[in-house]
Amino acid sequence: MEIVVSMAIGVMGGAGVWLVLRPRTFQVLIGLSLLSYAVNLFIFSVGSLSTGKEPIVKPGLPADLTNYTDPLPQSLVLTAIVIGFATTALFLVVLLALRGLSGGDHVDGREEQP
Amino acid sequence: MDQLPVSLLLVTMLPFLGSILAALLPTNARNAESLVSALVALAVFVSFALLYPQVSTGEVIVERHTWIPQLGVDLLLRIDGFAWMFAMLVSGVGLLVILYARYYLSPEDPAARFYSLLLGFMGAMLGIVVSGNLVQLILFWELTSVFSFLLIGYWYHRQDARRGARMALLLTGGGGLALFAAVLLIGHAAGSYELDAVFAAADQVRDHNLYPLMLTLLLVGAFTKSAQFPFHFWLPQAMAAPTPVSAYLHSATMVKAGVFLLARLWPVLAGTDEWFWVVGGTGLVTLLLGAYAAMFQNDLKGLLAYSTISHLGLITLLLGLNSPLAAVAAVFHMMNHATFKASLFMSVGIIDHETGTRDMRRLRGLYRSMPITGTLAIVASAAMAGVPLLNGFLSKEMFFAETVFVSAQPWIKIALPLAATLAGVFAVLYSLRLAHGAFFGPPPEDLPRAPHEPVRWMRVPIELLVLACLVVGIIPALSIGPALATAARPVVGGTLPAYSLAAWHGFNLPLVMSLVALAGGVLIYARYGEHLRARTSNRVPLLPLNGRQLFESLLARLIALAGKIQQLTGTRRLQPQLLWMLVIAGAAGLSSALIVPLEWGHRERIPMTPEFVLLWLLGGSCAIGAAWQAKFHRLAALTLLSLVGLAVCITFAWFSAPDLALTQLAVEVVTLVLYLLGLRWLPRRIELDGDLRRADIAWWRRRRDFVIALLIGSALAVLSYALLTRDAPLSIAPFFIERALPDGGGTNVVNVMLVDFRAFDTLGEITVLGIVGLTVYALLRRFRPPRESIARPAQQRTALRQFGTDISQRHDPAELPPDYLAVPAVLVRLLLPLALAFALYLLLRGHNKPGGGFIAGLVVSITLVSQSMASGTRWVEARLNLGPQRWIGAGLMLALLTGLAALPFGYPFLTTHTLHLDLPLLGALHLPSAALFDLGVFCVVVGATLLLLTALAHQTLRAQRQAAVDVEEAG
């Protein structure tokens, strides 16, 4: 399973990087979303992967990582998901404002001069 | 009298306090402003005058205050005779200038700013003078530069004032930095920054092997301030200042700070060959150059500025001669120059004020219309020229005498007196240009204003100063003798050399030099005076280099260079910035492999399941598909992206993170709605045609980015695989799991962490969320949709043409047709109470089971947004007054108050308290205060999400209204 998760992180990260380097705002926006998926999953996986060990306290079970998965990365990622949503929204609106001002959707506000 | 009547610190700070007071008075209250300022100056003057009995005996008054005890730096006020003399000068001339400026400033000039700055400058200058500590002196030194900058630029609507101010600040401020370095070196050599300690360690400093360096740096500081060659050119530019400022700063006080410092440290640094050659040489060059250039000026203030440069050169030369007698002469000339130059500046100010011009080519014969001012100016000019029975004569005689008796190499013995006499000839000549040229000759023609005497009180300061010139010139020993002795004694190190102050010393060589200078000056003026007046150009003959132009072109080049460097190393384009950020971040991440080798560990693997592999086969291909399609098929890319999000969501659920899975799911939905609302405003994609070069660049860029993406992607995969297979280090997690129930009152550790252990972080996060919501709202209020996207979407238009559906029936385009999407609307409406109940359930159980404020908030928002989608924004808003801003505010307030509630009980901010209840029907109940905090989170999430989505949705309405208006206008 580890290899699948790491491959998933790699593919999403690579696709995100490719898109972030594109000149169109929508591409960059999608790229950032993909990158944040990759990073969230990466941070989440730092806390070691395990199935069926939700960090919900059960009476009588010793409080260590053999019985529970690590809750710390989970709470970090939860925050990251919500903040990511907020920044995506902000970026989308800035993108729309840029579109209104410049008439185009190039990230620099105007087409490149070769 | 051991104890002072008042604290010295208070006296020194008084001008600063006055400055603040003056700034607070009404802008144009000239009378009140000048009264306050005059009282402050008078108080300072009288306080220092009262100290005379003490300092005249050679006593040094020291007052110590703790300043930075950690560094052993004290605020040290130290007054000896020399400092006393300067303090008297600063406050005395300051008082006269304040009086003068009352009548000089016009009612339109903001008097508050003027007097506030002037008093601030006075305080800074006093600070320099009474500093007993060199570091403290630097502080006030730089303050004078700042105030000088502000005062020169007082009329900031004038370009010459702004440029002059900038040049003065750059030069004197920069010199101050050099001086700071010098002071640090001196302090290092002497072992202390305190003046007395430095005086005591004089030999140590002079013998230090860094002496040449500290001397150079110190001289850069002193020479820039005192406008010595080659830094002299800022002073004429500073004449753009109002004349009272020139009279005060650029004749009597600030420019004297440089020579003050040279004299102050004379006992420590003088006496060496380097000192003689550098200080004496610079002084001589400046003396000659200033006097020479002064002759060719057409502007009265320009003449005075160059004359000031020349006189400062004279003082520097005297200090550089390494003789105590010359140092005494230097101190004497500082006092004399201040009196006659201040009075001359004020006279010129009156001429400017009453005639409207300072151009010497137009001014003549003014004596007829302003005889009193004329007489005063003529006497002061005579003092400047060194005419007997005036104070300027006395110090000039001492100077001539010193040049004759200086004992260095033989050629200096001849050259120095000759140069001094030559400078004397120049001085007589330019003084005559001022006194004779402006006041005698035929009556003036076509002056901007008819000249007349100024008001009585504007002349009083000049009268007092000229009186001083006369009294000192006629009976020097009686009038100024004791004060001079007091002032000069500390400069020469305690024992005064023998000198006599008298107007008549018999017929000797210095007198011959004076007479030669007077006769030569008068003769040349008689021969060439009219010729000088007739000159049209402002250029000084025989001087090819213009310091001002050099400086300005240097500055311009420097700025251009900075621009070029920025152009080469920086960019405003986003793509290169992102590229560099990714490359550097990637390299930094990978370079960790250099320290810890990148290899797999032996942690127990989780057995692979085909479903999960299938999930990510799908997820991965969706990610690649999104990347591929994002350019031309936005909707497809969006759909693929959502599928990736879903795969991530399932992964969270798979690996024991139910909270994450729920949040991700909800956020996925909201994000998708958000994107869909925004998609419509993006421009139609057009294939760029024909430009081969552009296509070529794009081809290469795509290849490059592909390689980078491949590299970063594989690096990420390898890193995370290495991370996942190695043994996990000791985690702090067990602490949280252990303390969640007893301390946080909940069993869902992730939620307890969010609302309790890391509640402060969450508070910040919901604040960000609220701010983003409001920002989006504010941004969109001003948003104007592009013209071409206002029209109806192509699909609707096609439908209209082909079928004539209900969409085509509406008249108001913002209003949906009746029963549009009726079945979904009913279903969604039925969903509303169910969803609200579910959200409540999620919120309540969040502390113990998966759920919580974030998820509940998102669920509520989704339900409400789906109402809008099915029935239209207007329909929803007509029935539900949501007010998302209020939700944000209330939520933040609730979270904050819950946190603050812990404070009165003596617990830190955001401490949770759990109420344990035993209710009859429900059984044991835990009510943690964190639940209230979670409720706050819930409210903020609802408010922010709704605000985001409705603000975007409203754009469509607005666009359609716009379209309707357009249609009406067209029809």
Digit-coded pLDDT (tens) for B847-868 = 888 888 899 999 999 998 888 8
The residue in chain A having the minimum alpha-carbon distance to the alpha carbon of residue B762 is A79
Kindly list the residues from chain B whose CB atom is less than 8 angstroms away from the CB atom of residue A72.
Answer: 731-733, 736, 753
CA dihedral over B837, B838, B840, B844, signed as positive or negative: positive
Q: How far apart, in whole angstroms, are the C-alpha atoms of residue B84 and residue B61?
A: 10
Residue in B115, B95, B101 with CA at minimum distance from that of residue B47: B95
Q: How far apart, in whole angstroms, are the C-alpha atoms of residue B387 and residue B515?
A: 9
Q: How far apart, in whole angstroms, are the C-alpha atoms of residue B240 and residue B202?
A: 41
**What are the two backbone dihedrals, phi and then psi, of residue B58, each rounded to the nearest 5 degrees?**
95, 5
Q: How far apart, in whole angstroms, are the C-alpha atoms of residue B123 and residue B22?
A: 13
The residue in chain A having the minimum alpha-carbon distance to the alpha carbon of residue B583 is A17
Q: How far apart, in whole angstroms, are the C-alpha atoms of residue B555 and residue B237?
A: 15
Residue in A49, A57, A96 nearest the CB of B724: A49
Q: How far apart, in whole angstroms, are the C-alpha atoms of residue B721 and residue B715?
A: 10
The residue in chain B having the minimum alpha-carbon distance to the alpha carbon of residue A107 is B574
| Residue B74, beta-bridge partner list | B66
In angstroms, what separates the C-alpha of B678 from chain A's closest C-alpha?
7
Q: Percentage of chain B surpassing pLDDT 90? A: 42
CA distances from B144 to B86, B130, B138, B151, B962 (A): 15, 14, 10, 10, 60
Q: How far apart, in whole angstroms, are the C-alpha atoms of residue B162 and residue B146?
A: 13
Which of the pair, B309 or B510, is modelled with greater confidence? B309
What's the confidence (pLDDT) of residue B340? Answer: 92
Q: What is the DSSP string of B127-161?
A: HHHHBSBHHHHHHHHHHHHHHHHHHHTTSTTSHHH
Which three-class secondary structure state does DSSP give residue B62?
A: strand
Does B747 contact A57 at a Cβ distance shorter than 8 Å?
yes
Which three-class secondary structure state does DSSP give residue B927?
A: strand
Q: What confidence category does residue B787 fall into, taking pLDDT thresholds of 50, 70 and 90?
A: low
What's the confidence (pLDDT) of residue B960? Answer: 66
Mean pLDDT of B324-352: 92
Residue B820 confidence (pLDDT) above 70: yes
Q: What is the mean pLDDT of chain B?
A: 87
DSSP state of B299: B
Enumerate residues 6+ apart whose C-beta is below 8 A from B890: B936, B939, B943
Has residue A11 been placed in a domain?
Answer: yes
Interface test with B, best of A9, A24, A26 (most B CBs within 10 A): A26
What's the confidence (pLDDT) of residue B793? Answer: 64
The tokens of B879 are what? 């029935």
CATH at residue A77: 1.10.287
Q: How many domains does chain A have?
A: 1
What's the confidence (pLDDT) of residue B591? Answer: 84
Has residue A82 been placed in a domain?
Answer: yes
Q: How far apart, in whole angstroms, are the C-alpha atoms of residue B662 and residue B850?
A: 8
Mean pLDDT of A8-31: 92
Q: How many CB atoms are located within 10 Å of the residue B301 CB?
A: 23
Residue B806 confidence (pLDDT) above 60: no
Which of the pair, B686 or B202, is modelled with greater confidence? B202
Mean pLDDT of B397-403: 87
Kindly list the residues from chain B whose CB atom is less than 8 angstroms away from the CB atom of residue A74.
Answer: 657, 659-660, 750
Q: How many CB atoms are located within 10 Å of the residue B841 CB?
A: 14
Mean pLDDT of B503-522: 86
Mean pLDDT of B518-527: 91
The tokens of B878 are what? 């007509």
Kindly list the residues from chain B whose CB atom is less than 8 angstroms away from the CB atom of residue A56.
Answer: 747-749, 848-850
Interface test with B, best of A40, A44, A82, A98 (most B CBs within 10 A): A82
Report the half-sphere exposure of B704 (CA within 13 A, side-chain side). Answer: 13
Kindly list the residues from chain A whose CB atom is less than 8 angstroms away from the CB atom of residue B578.
Answer: 20-21
Within an 8 Å CB–CB cutoff, is residue A63 touching chain B?
Answer: yes
Q: What angle do CA B194, B197, B199 make, to 5 degrees?
A: 105
Does A70 contact B731 at a Cβ distance shorter than 8 Å?
yes
The residue in chain A having the minimum alpha-carbon distance to the alpha carbon of residue B782 is A97
- Prior bond of B230 cis (ω within 30°): yes
What's the confidence (pLDDT) of residue B552? Answer: 87
Does B630 contact A22 at a Cβ distance shorter than 8 Å?
yes
Q: How far apart, in whole angstroms, are the C-alpha atoms of residue B262 and residue B277?
A: 14
The tokens of B385 are what? 């020229």
CA dihedral over B545, B546, B551, B556, signed as positive or negative: negative
Q: What angle do CA B358, B363, B364 make, to 5 degrees?
A: 150
Residue B34 confidence (pLDDT) above 50: yes
Q: How far apart, in whole angstroms, are the C-alpha atoms of residue B498 and residue B336?
A: 20
Q: Which of B605-609, B729-733, B892-896 has the lowest mean pLDDT?
A: B729-733
> B559-567: which pairs have CB atoms within 8 A and are 24 or more residues apart?
none
Has residue A97 been placed in a domain?
Answer: yes
**What are the two backbone dihedrals, phi and then psi, of residue B573, each rounded to the nearest 5 degrees?**
-85, 145
Residue B353 confidence (pLDDT) above 50: yes
Can you tell me which residue has the tokens 């700063």? Answer: B249
What is the reported pTM?
A: 0.69
Residue in A26, A63, A103 nearest the CB of B738: A63
Which of the pair, B551 or B782, is modelled with greater confidence? B551
Are B40 and B32 within 8 A, CB to CB? no
Q: What is the DSSP string of B564-610?
A: HHHHHH--S-HHHHHHHHHHHHHHHHHHHHHHS------PPPPPP-H
Residue B440 confidence (pLDDT) above 50: yes
CA dihedral over B368, B373, B379, B381, signed as positive or negative: negative
Mean pLDDT of B196-208: 90
Q: How far apart, in whole angstroms, are the C-alpha atoms of residue B397 and residue B505?
A: 10
Q: What confidence category does residue B803 fall into, taking pLDDT thresholds of 50, 70 and 90?
A: low
DSSP state of B818: T
Greatest Cα pair distance in chain B: 124
Has residue A91 been placed in a domain?
Answer: yes
Residue in A8, A14, A112 nearest the CB of B616: A8
Residue A38 confidence (pLDDT) above 90: yes
Q: Which of B126-130, B352-356, B542-546, B760-764 has the lowest mean pLDDT?
A: B542-546
Q: Which of A85-89, B67-71, B412-416 has the lowest mean pLDDT?
A: B67-71
Residue in A99, A64, A26, A19 with CA at minimum distance from that of residue B706: A19
Which three-class secondary structure state does DSSP give residue B246?
A: helix
Residue A66 confidence (pLDDT) above 50: yes
Mean pLDDT of B239-261: 90
Kindly list the residues from chain B whose CB atom is less than 8 angstroms away from the CB atom of residue A94.
Answer: 779
CA distances from B623 to A11, B284, B460, B865 (A): 7, 80, 87, 27
Does B674 contact A20 at a Cβ distance shorter than 8 Å?
no
Are B33 and B118 within 8 A, CB to CB? no
Residue B969 confidence (pLDDT) above 70: no
Has residue A19 been placed in a domain?
Answer: yes
Report the half-sphere exposure of B754 (CA within 13 A, side-chain side). Answer: 36
Q: How far apart, in whole angstroms, are the C-alpha atoms of residue B484 and residue B498?
A: 13
Which three-class secondary structure state does DSSP give residue B820?
A: coil
What's the confidence (pLDDT) of residue B746? Answer: 83
The letter for the amino acid at B889 is G
Has residue A76 been placed in a domain?
Answer: yes
In angstroms, what separates the C-alpha of B791 from chain A's closest C-alpha?
15
Q: What confidence category does residue B791 fall into, taking pLDDT thresholds of 50, 70 and 90?
A: low
Are B461 and B99 within 8 A, CB to CB? yes
What is the complex's ipTM, to 2 decimals? Answer: 0.95
CA distances from B964 to B557, B678, B790, B815, B969 (A): 57, 21, 10, 11, 9
What's the confidence (pLDDT) of residue B2? Answer: 45
What's the confidence (pLDDT) of residue B460? Answer: 92
CA distances from B455 to A66, B100, B372, B384, B466 (A): 96, 10, 11, 25, 18
Residue B1 confidence (pLDDT) above 50: no
Q: Which of B455-469, B586-600, B644-658, B804-818 has the lowest mean pLDDT?
A: B804-818
Q: How far apart, in whole angstroms, are the C-alpha atoms of residue B832 and residue B835?
A: 5
Are B533 and B437 within 8 A, CB to CB? yes
Mean pLDDT of B447-461: 86
DSSP state of B359: B
Has residue A89 been placed in a domain?
Answer: yes
The letter for the amino acid at B415 is A
CA distances from B243 to B27, B201, B323, B464 (A): 20, 42, 36, 18
Residue B966 confidence (pLDDT) above 70: no
Kindly list the residues from chain B whose CB atom is less than 8 angstroms away from the CB atom of residue A77.
Answer: 657, 660
Are B128 and B291 within 8 A, CB to CB? no
Residue in B259, B252, B400, B253 with CA at minimum distance from that of residue B316: B259
Q: Which domain holds residue A15?
A: 2-47+70-102
The letter for the amino acid at B537 is S
Has residue A39 been placed in a domain?
Answer: yes
